[in-house]
Amino acid sequence: MDAHDYLWLDLEKVGVFELCRLLLCKQIGERKFINSNDDKGLYGTFWHKVDQLSRESPDFSSVIGLTDTRLELDDQIRHEDPRYNSALAIMAAKTAYENEARIKKIVQDYWKMDFIGFYNCSNAFETKPVADKEKPTQAFMFSDKTGHHELICVSFRGTSPLCADDWCTDLDLSWFHLKGIGRVHLGFLKALGLQKSEENYAWWPKDIKHNENITFAYYKTRQVLKENLEKNKDARFIVTGHSLGGALAVLFPTILALHDEHELLDRLEGVYTFGQPRVGDDEFCRFMEDLLGVKRYFRFVYANDIVPRLPFDDTDFHYKHFGRCYYFNSLYKGQVLNEEPNKNYFSIKSIGPMYLNAIFEMVRSVILPYAYGRRYREGVLLLGLRIYGLIFPGISAHCPQDYVNITRLASPDTFNAQKYDFY
């Protein structure tokens, strides 16, 4: 027999003690009753292997997915409804936190749309080899062909609550100056695909050498987007993301403009961000307002969400928002403003209202399912975050749950950019 790839279990050597060691020992291949052509490849505890398999399952849900378990789109929001793109965008932004198999299942089975691809992307400034750590940036793409024209959606994943790399990205308050554009949050640029340069520390080349083992979010999504738009000259695309994903969604068209990708930008229907942090300085904001205008950029902020109020807009940090803010209070009543109220979060006069609002959100959690149906029921995990919000208002307000509710319960008029005379 000529077997080059095998795993053989010698059952005569199995004992209770060996079974216990199988559950706990990292080097599975060292067990006496296991023989394999690649013992070193059998690395990791039994529970680690089981956990790894379960995390890749289409039925495995992330922490974010457990805070809001809704998978279906709202069938009451049709294409002619001004909320449609926003409602689709927040569901895509929320789904971006899941694994590839689950995302594919949601897009195909629940939304009845075409799954294009999932991209696990690297950071050129990683200090460890890519193979030794989880790639920090994720994005996926799908195609909605249910309307009058094909709509391709690019969705970037936000900050994973259990991912240290994401937190490092968010907390990196250093900036990088993009010529002709302005100063931009360096952590966000690195996550999107900023390249290392021996001479100038970093740069954004229009094209990079192809490497099958390393994928960068900007270059990969741009490539796939071009390929799919070429198939249908009437197709358009939107970009979305929640939290960190919102920052990446804003920067994606920024770098397209830097690289003079005018044909792509002409087919951009809109950028939809939810709980997005500040990305750049005054110069950057002016550039983005000229690039997107107010009818292609929708920045949603819910109540006391702390993330859109970071990094601070002051003389020390220089970070600012651009465009208009679609602001919604805890009753899901919307306004279109220049800036969200209490823009830097920490304010003595706002402390009382924030705590009262956190109490109201707890009460509302109980009322919503009775008022609007079981789809608005909040699970134990989210209720726990609501309780935490009584101590630190603004944390629980960042969850996608309220942003999904905004697009479903708020007045459609708030989402109609055409009705506002901005200038």
Catalytic site positions: 243, 305, 398
User: Which letter, b or e, does each residue of 192-229 get, where b requires 16 or more Cβ atoms within 10 Å of its Cβ?
Assistant: bbbbeeeeeeeebeeeeeeeeebbbbbbbbbebbeebb
The whole-angstrom separation of Cα 110 and Cα 121 is 26
Assess contact for 297 and 330: CB atoms under 8 A: no
Which parts of 172-261 fold into alpha helices (H)? 186-192, 217-231, 244-258
**Cβ-count burial of 383 within 10 angstroms (0-12 exposed, 13-18 middle, 19+ buried)?**
middle
Strand ranges for 31-73 from DSSP E: 34-36
| H runs (alpha helix) in 123-216 | 164-171, 186-192
Give the burial class of 320: count Cβ atoms within 10 A of its Cβ; 0-12 exposed, 13-18 middle, 19 or more buried.
buried
d(C-alpha 369, C-alpha 376), whole Å: 5
SS3 353: helix
Per DSSP, the residues of 164-179 read HHHHHHHH---EEEET
CA angle 374/377/381 to nearest 5° reads 150
- Burial category of 5 from C-beta neighbours within 10 Å (exposed 0-12, middle 13-18, buried 19 and up): exposed
Q: Which residue, 241, 237, 153, 151, is CA-closest to 191?
A: 241
Residue from 195, 144, 187 nearest 165 by CA? 187
- Using DSSP's 3-state secondary structure scheme, residue 216 falls into coil
300: part of which helix (H) or strand (E)?
Answer: strand 297-302
Residue 395 has which token pair? Answer: 């944390």
Which residues have a Cβ under 8 Å from the Cβ of 131 and sit 6 or more positions away?
none
